[in-house]
């Protein structure tokens, strides 16, 4: 993967040499905690880019997200995802593709709920068959994926090609506008180096949709993990990660209940964190215009 010194998102690319700001960011994965990477902000579109060339195959070999399993919090947050899809017209009988599905947990959840779901992920053998992306679907979801891709514009165009006319696209990603590079610990989950290669600004993401001929249906500034269930909200999740050393690994390890019961703030957020949503994420629902 080549070095990024020119924005590959906006029409008039900004360059690293005239970036609005830049910061060296340590990895929030325990295996690479001593490694740091340069993140810079495009002067024109405000998107964030990871500068250094890296071998992502190497970093994904030690990726803690591979240990993600279906648990209480995952199931509740997936119900939230499904609720929003249904709110915008997704029904049983429709087909859906989860693009960048990881271990396929959301696909399995949808299948268990009686939906016709497929998944694709080039890094997971079980879901790496590209035949599925040659089909078209009533809905396509892609959560926390576009920021991992080295060519986000081409990635977005692939999502659109998978949509039927009138189809619904739900894309969730960190929002560059809300990330303060001067406080990287606060936004370590959104910055997530070196895995997050390009983090789009809201304006840049919406422009991709409009350029592709999509209609903007709804913009949400809450992470889909935000629910009213205890411990299933973004404020609690981020506070928990910070209390445990600010490594994302802890999300996929056995719960550290001792942290919860020795931190009044953490306990408060476990119960009421939904009321205090942190900035940093965006989910946009697009619809492909009917021919």
**What is the CATH number for 193?**
3.40.50.150
Looking at the 3D structure of the chain, how many domains does it have?
Answer: 2
Residues 256 and 130 in one domain: no
Does residue 16 form part of some domain? Answer: no
* pLDDT for position 180: 95
Does residue 13 form part of some domain? Answer: no
Per-residue model confidence as pLDDT tens digits over 211-262: 999 999 999 999 999 999 999 999 999 999 999 999 999 999 999 988 888 8
Residues 213 and 269 in one domain: no
Helix (H, G, I), strand (E, B) or coil at 190: helix
Does residue 20 form part of some domain? Answer: no
Residues 87 and 194 in one domain: yes
Whether the pLDDT of residue 157 is over 80: the answer is yes
Per-residue model confidence as pLDDT tens digits over 1-47: 679 999 999 988 999 999 999 999 999 999 999 999 999 999 999 99
Per-residue model confidence as pLDDT tens digits over 192-218: 999 999 999 999 999 999 999 999 999
Q: Which domain holds residue 238?
A: 234-273
Residues 214 and 80 in one domain: yes
Residues 213 and 245 in one domain: no
Q: What is the DSSP string of 240-289?
A: HHHHTTS-GGGGGS---HHHHHH-HHHHHHHHHGGGSPPSSEEEEEEEEP
> Structure pTM?
0.95
Residues 107 and 136 in one domain: yes
Whether the pLDDT of residue 291 is over 70: the answer is no
Percent of the chain with pLDDT over 70: 99
**Nearest-angstrom CA–CA distance, 287 and 213:** 9
Sequence-separated (6 or more) residues with CB below 8 Å from residue 21: 40, 41, 181, 182
Residues 262 and 154 in one domain: no
Does residue 253 form part of some domain? Answer: yes
**Nearest-angstrom CA–CA distance, 96 and 119:** 8
Residues 197 and 78 in one domain: yes
Whether the pLDDT of residue 110 is over 70: the answer is yes
Dihedral angle, C-alpha 43, 46, 50, 56, nearest 10 °: -140
Cβ atoms of 282 and 220 closer than 8 Å:
yes
Residues 187 and 264 in one domain: no
Residues 75 and 113 in one domain: yes
Q: In what order do the strands lie in the sheet with 48-50?
A: 21-26, 36-41, 48-50, 198-199
Does residue 213 form part of some domain? Answer: yes
* pLDDT for position 246: 94
Does residue 19 form part of some domain? Answer: no
Mean pLDDT of all residues belonging to the chain: 95
Whether the pLDDT of residue 164 is over 60: the answer is yes
Could you tell me the two tokens for 237? 């999740």
Does residue 43 form part of some domain? Answer: no
Residues 173 and 194 in one domain: yes
Sequence-separated (6 or more) residues with CB below 8 Å from residue 13: 6, 7, 42, 44
Cβ atoms of 280 and 226 closer than 8 Å:
no
Residues 98 and 216 in one domain: yes
Does residue 38 form part of some domain? Answer: no
* pLDDT for position 258: 87
């Amino acid at each position: 993967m080549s070095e990024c010194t020119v924005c590959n998102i906006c029409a008039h690319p900004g360059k690293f040499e005239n970036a609005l700001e830049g910061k060296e960011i340590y990895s929030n994965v325990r295996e690479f905690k001593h490694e740091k990477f340069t993140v810079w902000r495009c002067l024109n579109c405000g998107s964030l880019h990871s500068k250094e060339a890296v071998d992502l195959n190497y970093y994904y070999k030690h990726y803690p997200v591979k240990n993600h399993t279906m648990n209480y919090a995952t199931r509740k947050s997936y119900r939230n995802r499904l609720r929003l899809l249904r709110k915008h017209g997704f029904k049983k009988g429709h087909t859906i593709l989860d693009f960048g599905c990881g271990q396929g947990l959301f696909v399995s959840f949808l299948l268990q709920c009686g939906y016709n779901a497929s998944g694709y992920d080039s890094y997971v053998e079980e879901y790496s068959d590209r035949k599925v992306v040659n089909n078209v679907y009533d809905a396509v979801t892609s959560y926390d994926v576009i920021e991992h891709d080295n060519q986000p514009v081409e990635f977005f165009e692939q999502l659109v090609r998978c949509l039927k006319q009138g189809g619904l696209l739900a894309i969730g990603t960190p929002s560059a506008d809300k990330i303060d590079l001067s406080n990287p610990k606060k936004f370590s989950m959104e910055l997530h180096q070196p895995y997050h290669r390009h983090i789009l600004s809201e304006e840049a993401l919406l422009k991709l949709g409009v350029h592709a001929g999509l209609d903007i249906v709804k913009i949400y500034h809450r992470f889909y993990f935000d629910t009213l269930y205890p411990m299933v909200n973004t404020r609690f999740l981020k506070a928990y990660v910070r209390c445990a050393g600010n490594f994302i690994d802890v999300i996929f390890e056995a719960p550290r209940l001792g942290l919860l019961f020795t931190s009044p703030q953490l306990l408060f957020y476990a119960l009421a964190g939904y009321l205090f949503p942190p900035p940093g994420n965006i989910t946009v629902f697009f619809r492909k215009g009917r021919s």
